[in-house]
Homo-oligomer: A and B are copies of this chain.
Amino acid sequence: MESSSAIDRLSALAQPGRLAVFRLLVRADPEGIPAGEIAAALGLAPNTLSSQLAILVQAGLLSSAREGRVIRYAVRPDALSELIVYLMEDCCGGRPEICQPVQEAAARAACCPPSRTRACRPLSA
């Protein structure tokens, strides 16, 4: 993941309305929600929401698909993990005190251990 793209994604999420939209859509993954329902759920004006959605799509965090008269928005499943991996990129390879809590939280949250715990190897390998 490029640095510019990380900035775009962080900045897209760094706004109350957009973060609320993103979290709503994460909860609605993978079906997604039409724009109008998002606006109703969060109490946002349709045109305001539209620009926020455009920013999230531009950042690669959401996908959109027209379905008849509505446009349904959904999270791009890889987007968040790409961003997180980018943020973790520098702290590892011999310095696990930052990443290990994340790993454990991810294990706890994902609610299933990884298919197979892989051998210890540095990031550069």
- Chain A residues close to B by CB (< 8 Å): 3, 6-7, 10-11, 13-16, 19, 23, 26-27, 29-30, 75, 77-78, 80-81, 84-85, 87-114, 117-118, 120-123
Contact = CB atoms under 8 A, between A and B. Distances in A.
Nearest to A88: B109
Given A14-B14, A81-B105, A102-B102, 19 more contacts: A10-B11, A13-B14, A26-B98, A27-B90, A29-B97, A29-B98, A75-B98, A77-B98, A80-B102, A81-B98, A81-B99, A84-B88, A89-B109, A92-B111, A100-B114, A106-B106, A109-B123, A111-B121, A113-B120
Interface of A is mostly: helix
Nearest to A6: B19
B3 A10 contact: no
Contacts of A96: 110-112
